[in-house]
A and B are shown apart, each in its own frame.
Chain A
Amino acid sequence: MDEFTLRIFRFDPEDGQEPRFDAYRVPYRDGMTVLEALFEVLDHQDGSIAFRFSCRGAVCGACAMFINGSHRLACQTQVKSLGPEVTVSPLPHLPVIRDLIVDMEPFWRKYEEIKPYLIANSEPPEKERPQDPEDRKKIDEMINCILCGACYSSCPMVWTGEDYLGPAALLKAYRFVADSRDDASEERLAVVSTEKGVWRCHTVFNCAEVCPRSINITWSLQQLKKLAVRKALF
């Protein structure tokens, strides 16, 4: 492959035009990622395209987009794995600000609802709060989340349910519920065990399929359901 087609979603609220896709021919380099392809266009063909990025190494979560039928990180997706035609659009089901940039406000607002920080009742220690390696292992998977929003955008319950907290926020809730140092499990379960929380999840597994960190988010949500059922009914 010497060259490939890159189709980019274009929308600018200020130019009064309908959203559209523009196609560019991009020279292929070995090991090229979708993010690098976007830079190629930005630098050499069209300086007007807008996209979000930061670390370029799949640790910051800024460049989540909808690429060839799936929600992925542009920096983590090899062009080679997609073939000669690449189509990139902004994360679906979030308001588009411009081109590939979405407004993450609903995502963050819901994230805040589950109190995404450690709540410990004991006196703050001199240095840090140490944790047993065995206890830490229980939350290894959940801590890998980079809050890119791919899971949130991929969840059909988010598509139709305006106030559903979504996979990322619920994953984070479990991350703290399962943390041996956290004392606010009850408070968190009260937020999570509601219609806008875990009971909206129908185990569709889109979140687990698209997670760029390979976190099985559904597994954590199932744990939350189990805890809530046990607490409320037995």
Chain B
Amino acid sequence: MNRGRIWAWFLQRVTGAGLFLVLGIHLWTVHYSRGGEAIVFSEVSARLKTLTFQVVDYALLAFVLYHGLNGVRNVVLDYNITPGQERVLNWALTIIGMIFFVYGAYALTPFIAG
């Protein structure tokens, strides 16, 4: 029994369910409830000064990166790859995920500082 494999499968479900919630909040408040007016810095900043939206946005960033990159991994695993190739793939995806998490988290700081 491959515990790591089962965790990856399980977390894909957990992040998926989480995304359903936080992505729903994000899409509605940021993009659609306002009728699609152009988004401006001051408005995003005002929202991101609240703890709720800091939690929503950072959770969104983390969930979306895990779910998306593990999803890519799931696709690749369907195509007969060797254990060696799988190790390279896992590392590559982990590094890409970390870089974009750090960069994305950093990109939100000007809004929080306002």
Contact = CB atoms under 8 A, between A and B. Distances in A.
| Contact, chains A and B (beta carbon distance below 8 A) | yes
Nearest to B7: A233
B1 A193 contact: yes
A189 B79 contact: no
17 contacts: A157-B78, A160-B78, A160-B80, A162-B80, A189-B1, A190-B1, A193-B1, A193-B2, A193-B6, A194-B2, A194-B5, A195-B2, A202-B74, A228-B1, A228-B6, A232-B1, A233-B3
Contacts of B5: 193-195, 199
* Interface of B (DSSP majority class): helix
Interface of A: 157, 160-163, 189-190, 193-195, 199-200, 202, 225, 228-229, 231-233
Nearest to A232: B6
Interface of B: 1-3, 5-7, 9-10, 74, 77-80
* Interface of A (DSSP majority class): helix
A161 B79 contact: yes
User: 10 smallest A-B Cβ distances: which pairs?
Assistant: A193-B1, A232-B6, A162-B80, A190-B1, A160-B79, A232-B3, A160-B78, A194-B2, A199-B5, A161-B78
A232 to B, nearest CB: 5
A233 B13 CA distance: 14
Given A228-B6, A233-B6, A233-B10, A194 B80 contact: no
A199 B78 contact: no
Given A229-B10, A232-B6, A233-B7, A194 B1 contact: yes
Contacts of B78: 157, 160-161, 200
A166 to B, nearest CB: 13
A157 B78 CA distance: 6
A162 B74 CA distance: 15
A163 B79 CA distance: 10
A229 B77 CA distance: 20
Contact of B77 (A189, A195, A225): A195
Given A189-B1, A190-B1, A194-B1, A229 B80 contact: no
